[in-house]
Amino acid sequence: MPASTSLSSKHHTLIQALLSRGPLKESEFRSIFHKVTGKSPDHQVFNDYISDINDELSYVQLELRKCLNQYDGKAYYGVVNTVSDEHSKLGTKYSVPQIALYKGILEAIVQDTAGEGSISNIDALNIRLENQVLSGVDSQSQDNSTEIPSALKNFSMSQKDKTLEEFVHDQWLCSISDGRIGLGVRSFLDLRSWFHDNEVPTCQVCNEAAVKAEFCQNENCNTRVHQSCLKKLFSLAGVKRVCPGCGTQWRLVAKREAAEEQEADDQDGPSENTSQPDPSARKRLRTSKGVDRNTQESDSTITSSTLSGSRRLTRSSARRAAAA
């Protein structure tokens, strides 16, 4: 058994940067890496540092992980909890009604058969929290209102609105165009095992959950691909613009090209991981001013066990819904 790697102060500084600032864009994290270590963040040197850090973090069931933000196509790094047990539920600052609201929004987003990866702000506010309880009990007890905790029944619309602001601030959710709500970077980082366990359809290219994705035009093909993965795939020399699953000619989407141009314009702009609402949604989804921006990640952790009891999502059910 190899000896444990002793982390230097530079390793600790990198970990602290992620813990204190939350998930960071890959470009930002590599910039911090260069400033802290004095080394060029080339592929091998950078990966060696990440590997050494994860060797040590594994002893406390943590992992420095990379994920794709499926809305802006950029990679992010963050520190996540790898344990899903009853004790990990105690590590969250959210109340039972707040977690029930998040679970309802999460399920609604991943069940979207259009692949938009979002729901309207109004739909998010109208999530029925009691459904998160009823889905875990048998049909005989569903008629018994005493099964529903009063905290869920009494959770007001204004409390839901404030909770949405908090989730956006903490990067579990994000505010996108036209007042719609999508999953935040921390959801993509922390809920990888939840996506897998609930059989959320995956991207044909990267094999990660395809929450926001494009579909093959062939009605008999279930291939989904992230827009950023599609762009990288078709940019490779000799690769035809066809479905990687069935070979059907892949359609060109004008809005995707426009989004890519906007992404290029915003390349040097403010970081999107602040998850600020767009102007059209600002009235309905104000930036939370009452949330302490210095809150440690461990105070707002949502793990797979926190979401236990969620209705199981299967590939077959998603395919049936898509075909309907």
For 112-124, how does the pLDDT look when each residue is reduced to its tens digit (9 = 90+)? 888 899 999 999 9
Structure tokens, 174: 């994000």
Average of per-residue pLDDT across 49-63? 94
pLDDT of residue 252: 63
209 within 8 A of 226, measured Cβ to Cβ: no
pLDDT tens sequence across 96-152? 899 999 999 999 999 888 889 999 999 999 998 888 766 554 444 445 545 777 888
pLDDT at 313 over 60: no
SS3 211: coil
List the strands of the sheet with 173-176, edge to edge: 118-120, 180-183, 173-176
Kindly calculate the radius of gyration of the chain based on its CA atoms and give it in whole angstroms: 21
When mean pLDDT is compared across 67-81, 142-156, 164-178, 277-291, the lowest value belongs to: 277-291
DSSP alpha helices (H): ranges in the chain? 9-21, 26-37, 43-57, 96-110, 121-125, 131-134, 150-153, 157-169, 185-190, 192-197, 227-235, 254-265, 279-282, 315-323
| Sheet of strand 62-68, all strands in order from the earlier edge strand to the far edge | 24-25, 75-81, 62-68
pLDDT at 319 over 90: no
Tell me the pTM.
0.75
Instruction: Return the DSSP state at 290.
Output: S
What share of the chain has pLDDT > 70, as a percent?
69
Residue at token pair 């908090």: 166
C-alpha to C-alpha distance for 212 and 50, rounded to whole angstroms: 28
How far is it, in rounded angstroms, from Cα 76 to Cα 186? Answer: 9
Looking at residue 42, its pLDDT comes to 81
Check pLDDT > 80 for residue 236. yes
Structure tokens at 280: 């059209």
CA distances from 314 to 110, 311, 317, 324 (A): 11, 10, 5, 16
- Kindly report the average pLDDT of the chain as a whole number: 79
pLDDT at 294 over 50: no
Give the span between the Cα atoms of 183 and 195, in whole angstroms.
12
